[in-house]
Structure 1
Amino acid sequence: MNKKYFLELADYTIWANGIIIKWLNQINDEQWEQVICSSFSSIKQTTLHIVSAQKIWIDYWKNIPEPAFLSVEFKGTKTDLIEIWDKLSNDLKNFIEIYPEDKYLQPVTFRWPRGGEGKMEFWQSFTHMLNHTTYHRGQLVTLLRQANFTALTSTDLATYYHIVKH
């Protein structure tokens, strides 16, 4: 558990998010909004959840007072949300580049979405955020297929190591 490892995971996240963003830019508004049975009711709502969660964790790590869930306040377009996501992906790497390794074991206080506070060590919360994003990116693949978008490729970590790191 060191900065190099976390930077590599941030690079993977930027890469995988970038692939999903390219797909989202290719779908139409009907596909974006189509109601599909999943954890969230559409590609739009699943994307909003991913982006909101990534943003809130970065805010918690930065000790932003009163961070807000983007999913509660977002009123923008698909393009707006995709731009926010792209920026957040890069913000994640920038944050890791400056975050001191000696703080990896320090607790991060966060709010559960349905109320109450929790604490995890930074490294645990970082790993959780990456895992959470990966889980919901997988759901987006299924949602996109159900919305008849089939120009999909793998965003798996092993694929990243094979394609990008070789």
Structure 2
Amino acid sequence: MKEMFQQLAAYNSWANNCLISSIQSLPEEKTIQEVLSSFPTLRGTLLHMWDAESIWWQRMKLQEGIIAPSVNFKGSTRDVSVSLLHQNKLWENWVSNASPAALDHVIMYYSSKREPFKIPITTLLMQVFNHGSYHRGQLVTMLRQLGVSKIPQTDFLVFTRSKK
């Protein structure tokens, strides 16, 4: 099971890096240009992705007073991208070093509505990596709306083939 989560963590980093490379080739104005999506800009979507990964990280680490990075963030789209990729590496490193007991562990956390929940770490990891896939799909659609035609493939199979 650990190998599967290592692969998913590495894929999450790789896929985010692929799309971020495309986004970083755009002028900053394009990354904050509004388009029709869940979050109105590329920058806003990346910021949400970083928030989500950071919040789940803080929950897993049993931190109190969880704060989304966007609360105090004033940086550029490039800064958001670097921060998201750094968070991705934290997940990769954690999974690589996790013992079977750590993966089997169940944590208690509070939702954004302050409701208590218990969740196995494996489910938490699936949430983090699946959530990233969902929003990468949105980033692709947003890039197309902004006139970008050369968009990297981020399918899991493309990732696995690139690692052979």
**Fold similarity call, TM over 0.5:** yes
Tell me which moved more, 129-138 or 155-164.
155-164
Following superposition, the deviation at residue 147 of structure 1 comes to 0.9
The gaps in structure 1 that reach 5 residues or longer are none
Is the contact made by 2:19 and 2:152 (CA closer than 8 Å) also made in structure 1? no
Question: In the TM superposition, what whole-angstrom CA distance separates every residue of 1:88-128 from its partner, at most 9, and x where no partner exists?
Answer: 11111111122221132322223323432322111001001
The residue correspondences of 1:107-122 to structure 2 (distance < 5 A) are 107-122=106-121
- Aligned partners of 1:73 and 1:111: how far apart in 2? 21
Q: Which amino acid aligns with 1:108?
A: I
Number of aligned residues: 164
Name the SS for the 1:110 alignment partner. Answer: strand
Could you say what secondary structure the match of 1:104 adopts?
A: helix
Aligned residue for 1:127? 126
Match of 2:144 in 1: 145
Distance 1:92 1:41 in 2: 27
Which whole-Å CA distance do the structure 2 matches of 1:20 and 1:60 have between them? 27
8 Å contact from structure 1 (residues 27, 149) kept in 2: no
Map 1:1-166; keep pairs closer than 5 Å. 1=1, 3-164=2-163, 166=164
SS at match of 1:102: helix
Mapped to 1, the partners of 2:148 and 2:126 lie a distance apart of 30
Give yes or no for contact 1:34–1:42 (8 Å, CA) kept in 2. Answer: yes
Root-mean-square deviation (CA, aligned residues, Å) is: 1.5
Q: Secondary structure at the match of 1:66?
A: coil
Question: What's the secondary structure of 1:149's corresponding residue?
Answer: coil
Identify unmatched segments of 5+ residues in structure 2.
none
Does the aligned pair in 1 maintain the 2:104–2:120 contact within 8 Å?
Answer: yes
Q: Which letter does structure 2 place at the counterpart of 1:133? A: G
Distance 1:109 1:17 in 2: 28
Provide the C-alpha distance between the structure 1 equivalents of 2:112 and 2:34, rounded to a whole number of angstroms. 23
Read off the aligned partner of 2:11 and give its amino acid letter: Y
- Displacement of 1:60 in angstroms is 1.4
Q: Report the Cα distance in structure 1 between the residues aligned to 2:153 and 2:49, rounded to whole angstroms.
A: 18
Instruction: Kindly provide the CA deviation profile for residues 32-86 of structure 1, in whole angstroms up to 9, marking residues without a partner as x.
Output: 1111111111111111111111111112111222221123332211121111112
Q: Which consecutive aligned stretches of 4+ in structure 1 deviate over 6 angstroms post-superposition?
A: none
Q: Which amino acid in 2 is paired with 1:92?
A: W
